[in-house]
Amino acid sequence: MSDENIVDINERRPSDEWRKYTKLIAVAVILIVIVVTIISNLFIVEQGEYKVVRQFGEVVRIENEPGLSYKIPFIQNVTTLPKYQMVYDIPPAEINTRDKKRMLADHYAVWKIESPQLMISNARTFQNAEAIMGELIFSAIRAELGQLNFDEIINEEQSSRGSFNDLVRDRVNEALERNKYGILLTDVRMKRIDLPEENEEAVYRRMISERQSTAQDYLSQGDAEANRVRAKTDKEVQEMLAKANADANEIIGEGEAEAAKIYNESFGRDTEFYQLYRTLQSYETTINDETVIVLPADSPYARILMGYID
C-alpha cells in the first residue's frame, strides 16, 4: 500500500479556532432568539384602553395604566378593551303607547366599561355586553313609552322627554349593577319617532285637517277683528266729518254775517253807488247774448245800460 492512500485523521479535525467561532455563533443565535422572544411579548398600554392578559383562557391580570408591560411567551395572550365612552345605535323598534297606538322609536346610547373584570366574568365578551345593554335599554324604553299617550310623545309642548331619558338610564343602570356586568350607561337619547307605514297616511290626513281647522279659526278671528276695526274707524270718520261740517258752517255763518255788516256799512255811506252796484248785478243775472229788453229810452235802467250816467 502506498503512502498516498493513507489519510491522517488529525489533519481533518476542526481546529480550535474554528470551534471557538462556532460556539460564538451559537451563543449569538440563542441571544437573538431570547431578545426577539422578549420583544415580541412586550406590549404597550395606550391611553384610553384596557389590556386584558389571559392564560389558558382565564384572565390573570388587567393593565389599565398607560405604559409598557409584558406577557409570558406562548402561554399568555393579550386582548384590548376600550376605556373611553362609546356610542351604541339601538335598532328601531315598534312600541305601543298607553292609548294603544303603534310607533317606531329610534334611540342611541352612550356607555363605557367601568370594570373589565366584571364584564368579562359575567358578559364574557365585548359584543355580548353591548347586546345585553341593548336589550335592557329596549325593555326600559318600551316600559316608559307605554305609560305615555301618543300626543304626549310627539307634541313638543306636552312632551316628557326631559325626564324620560333619565328614567330609562337609571332603570338600565340598576339592572346592569344588579347583574354585575361592569358597564355603565351614561346617556340615552331619542333620535326620532316614526309611525308604521300603514298609519302614516291616516295621521297625515288628521294633521292636515287639524291645521286647516286651526287656519280657518285664525281667518275667522281675523275677519271679525277687521270688521270691528272698520266699524270703529267709520264711526270715528263720521264723527270727525260731522264736527268738521259743523265747524265749517259756523265759520261760514260768521263770515257771511261779517260780510253783510261790512256791505251795510259801506253801502250806507253812498246810497246812489249802492243802487248803481245793485243795477249792475242785475245785468249780470238777466242779460246774455239772446236777451231782448224793451225799455223807454229815458228810463234810468236803460240810461245806465246805454252808458248815460248823470
pLDDT at 130 over 90: yes
Number of structural domains the chain divides into: 3
Q: State pTM to two decimals.
A: 0.54
- 16-73 tens-digit pLDDT: 677 777 888 888 888 888 888 778 788 889 988 999 999 887 888 999 888 888 888 8
Do residue 179 and residue 101 come from a single domain?
A: yes
What is the distance between the alpha carbons of residues 282 and 41, in angstroms, rounded to a whole number? 138
Domain boundary among 56, 80, 104: 80
Q: What is the average pLDDT score of the chain? A: 81
- CATH number of the CATH domain containing 190: 3.30.479.30
Lowest mean pLDDT among 1-10, 146-155, 237-246: 1-10
| 74 and 97 together in one domain | no
* 162: containing domain: 86-194
Q: Which residues of 133-155 are buried (b: 16+ CB within 10 A; e: fewer)?
A: bbebbbebbeebbeebebebbbe
- The dihedral through the CA atoms of 199, 201, 205, 210 has a sign that is positive
CA distances from 4 to 1, 23, 63, 68, 280 (A): 8, 35, 73, 67, 186
| C-alpha cell of residue 294 | 224793451
Residue 275 domain flag: yes
238 falls within a domain? no
Domain termination site, one of 33, 53, 80: 80
Distance CA 172, CA 97 (A): 20
Q: Do 178 and 92 fall within a single domain?
A: yes
Alpha-carbon torsion angle 149, 154, 155, 157, nearest 10 = 100
Element of type H or E holding 275 = helix 271-286
Identify whether residues 32 and 123 lie together within a single domain: no
The verdict on 76 and 98 lying in the same domain is no
For residue 77, count other CB atoms closer than 10 A to its CB. 14
Answer yes or no: do 92 and 41 share one domain. no
